[in-house]
Amino acid sequence: MTLDRGENAPPLYIQVSDILRRRILEGVWENGAAIPPEHQLCDEFNIARGTLRQALDMLEQEDLVRREQGRGTFVTWTRARRRPSGLPGNQIAFIVPYVRDTFVATILLGLERGAEAHGFSVVFSHVSNSPDEQRAALAKFAEQDLAGIVLYPVDSVHVEPVDALVMKGYPIVLVDRYLRGVYTDYIISDHFGGALRATQHLLGLGHRRIAFASWKDPAISIEHRAAGYQRALAEAGIPYDPKLTCEVEGYPIIDPNSFCDLLAIDPPVTAVFAANDQIALAIYRAAGKCGRSIPDDLALVGFDNLDIGAHLDTPLTTVAQSPYEIGFKAAEVLSRRINHEVHHPQQIILPTTLIVRQSCGAPPPAESSPADASPVPPVSIKEAQ
């Protein structure tokens, strides 16, 4: 096993503890089994014995192993034993960063229907896009008599206390985005594939000056959409130009003036792929202020398929997710986790759909609703990265 020994790499004992922890959680060694002796692990990782012992100390503090002098190190983690007391309750919590459109509400509806099918009810909590409020909500619900938690994370970098809950075996499922370094259940959409298809559509209409409008959100979902945009450009032989990327503050509201500089670039952009429909709506307003008409002067594509998009004067072309299915599947995945029916993390990527309307400048498809939707097969997370 090769460790990262670069100047900016994590300490070796942290890397080793992460590898051994994952092996334990994946069932490589069952409860009560002895892990390989220290000299064997030192040879495998090419590390000193002191480094290995630091890694084992971490695992022992997490109650994953027990070290016995003269005998070795033994696994003490079991799925059944690690389930905190009180979890047989019949409620699950749904924690979200914000509620400002129908997307979260539809996830909640799907979650409630799915939870009901598995004998649970849902407690809802909104954390104002604050990592501190999210941390407090997680701690509060973890202490209560709940069966588990569905979390729509504020971002993909504030992992605490989710990482600690996962290590303890607490049932928790993430939706829309996952957390870096946290090996847990999640249900997300194919953000990369949807963005790829949206940008390819604009390229197919003849656009070459295509901007990407996003917000300052360190979330995997936004990063995957940016990656899909860049991949489409690369496949078309168009160099990525960071000047055509605009990031704005997204909470609590988006200021349309933030996009005026983007729309004033010379030579002008002819199309914008917005990372979500909220941003697309702000670009509608910004374009009006800048004297740009959609779609005559500027093609526009969004992401999410919010209800309002179809009812604009110039209906919005967008990439549709399936929020109801996200919520329904989250309940199903969490139920399996609560009932110990699975061993490894359940990581589900749902397909997205390109819905072509007038805002991109293409003729709308025929009248029937299935005809205006082009399903995008899911792209693997590995490819998206």
**Model confidence pTM above 0.75:** no
**pLDDT of res. 78:** 59
Q: Where are the strands (E) in the chain, listed by range?
A: 65-68, 72-75, 91-96, 121-126, 148-151, 172-175, 185-189, 210-215, 245-248, 271-274, 299-304, 317-320, 347-350, 352-355, 373-376
How does pLDDT run across 309-363, given as a tens digit for each residue? 999 999 999 999 999 999 999 999 999 999 888 888 999 999 999 999 999 998 6
**pLDDT of res. 217:** 81
**pLDDT of res. 69:** 85
**pLDDT of res. 322:** 94
If one counts every other C-beta atom within 10 angstroms of the C-beta of residue 331, the result is: 26
Contact 214, 246 (CB under 8 A): yes
**pLDDT of res. 219:** 93
Q: Record the tokens describing residue 104, joined without a space.
A: 């979260």
**pLDDT of res. 246:** 95
CA distances from 70 to 38, 65, 67, 73 (A): 12, 15, 9, 10
**pLDDT of res. 365:** 55
Q: Give the list of residues 6+ apart from residue 241 with CB closer than 8 angstroms, or none.
A: none
Residues (pLDDT < 50) of the chain are 79-88, 367-377, 379-385
How does pLDDT run across 65-91, given as a tens digit for each residue? 899 988 999 998 654 433 343 344 799
If one counts every other C-beta atom within 10 angstroms of the C-beta of residue 328, the result is: 21
The alpha carbon of residue 343 and the mean position of all alpha carbons in its chain are separated, in whole angstroms, by 21
Instruction: Sketch out the chain's domains with CATH numbers.
Output: 12-77 (1.10.10.10), 87-188+324-350 (3.40.50.2300), 191-321+352-384 (3.40.50.2300)
**pLDDT of res. 335:** 94
Q: Is the dihedral angle over the CA atoms 71, 73, 76, 79 positive or is it negative?
A: negative
